[in-house]
Amino acid sequence: MRKTIIAGNWKMYKTIAEAIELANGLKRELFDLNPQLIEIVICPAFTALSEVRDVISDSNLQLGAQDVFWEDEGAFTGEVSCLMLKDIGCRFVIIGHSERRQYFAETNEVVNKKARTVLRHGLIPIVCVGETLSEREKGLTFKVLEDHIYNGLKQISKEDILRVIIAYEPVWAIGTGRTATAEQAQEAQSYIRSLLAKMYDKQTAQQVRIQYGGSVKPENISELVSQPDVDGALVGLASLNLESFVKIVKRASQVRK
């Protein structure tokens, strides 16, 4: 059985003081959840990673970063390497988020470089894939997913793909309040799993965890994670509110497939 994973992407929000406050609240409210049944990951801005690490070091919460560069070191002003993230205590790294693709022109080639680097350093990549509203309306959802999966995961071995988390995030549902229905999420994520079966094999594909991301909230999380191919959620704005994120995590933890 695939373990549920809920990850909070704090995006470009929270000062260090605010991040510490939220991390302390999550630690207090979620302390009794069994990490063998659900993984909880929080991804603050780079500036708050070390302080949040100190807060959650003795808890069931895990630390993730929102991005990384593919080189270990060098003259790459403004970038952060896997070595730095490991040094600060990160275990997860979000890669290829739609906002990175949209605002910073990240391509599948860039996503692939980052994913392979993260795996090489023993970290866990959360690789984001998904279509825009225009692409969905043109009936291109499956074509976009095929492009993102085949090219974003190129040259990743069968052994390594088992450590990858895939986040299906329909771009039209991110931060818009519009959420894909549970049926739409299941359809897309089932297709992603079928692509993995073609790239690797069916048994391997069944072990890979696939999250849903896009206006996740307490009101829809239970229905989403009840779907057979939805193994959790990548939560954006709702993860910035203590009460909201706690409800999402607790409700997801109560769903048994």
Is 152 within the bounds of a domain? Answer: yes
- Please say if the pLDDT value at position 179 is more than 80: no
Q: What is the mean predicted confidence (pLDDT) over 146-151?
A: 98
pLDDT reported for residue 1: 83
Active site (annotated) includes residue 97: yes
DSSP characters over the chain:
-PPEEEEEE-TT---HHHHHHHHHHHHHHSTTS-TTTEEEEEE--GGGHHHHHHHHTTSSEEEEES---SSSSSS-TT---HHHHHHHT--EEEES-HHHHHHH---HHHHHHHHHHHHHTT-EEEEEE---HHHHHTT-HHHHHHHHHHHHSTT--HHHHTTPEEEE--GGGSSSS----HHHHHHHHHHHHHHHHHHS-HHHHHHSEEEEESS--HHHHHHHHTSTT--EEEE-GGGGSHHHHHHHHHHHHT---
Is the Cα torsion angle 161, 59, 226, 13 positive or negative in sign?
negative
Is 97 within the bounds of a domain? Answer: no
Is 13 within the bounds of a domain? Answer: yes
CATH number, domain containing residue 140: 3.20.20.70
- Please say if the pLDDT value at position 230 is more than 70: yes
Other residues' Cβ atoms within 10 Å of the Cβ of residue 103: 9
* Pairwise pLDDT comparison (134 vs 43), residue with the higher score: 43
Is 234 within the bounds of a domain? Answer: yes
Question: pLDDT, tens digit, for every residue of 98-127?
Answer: 999 999 999 999 999 999 999 999 999 999
| The one catalytic residue among 18, 106, 169, 187 | 169
Is 54 within the bounds of a domain? Answer: yes
* Total domains present in the chain: 1
| The one catalytic residue among 39, 97, 106, 131 | 97
Looking up tokens 């695939």 gives 2
Domain that holds residue 30: 4-92+108-253
> pTM of the entire structure?
0.96
Question: pLDDT, tens digit, for every residue of 64-73?
Answer: 999 999 999 9
Question: pLDDT, tens digit, for every residue of 188-208?
Answer: 999 999 999 999 999 999 999
Is 103 within the bounds of a domain? Answer: no
pLDDT band at residue 134 using 50, 70 and 90 as cut-offs: confident
Is 56 within the bounds of a domain? Answer: yes
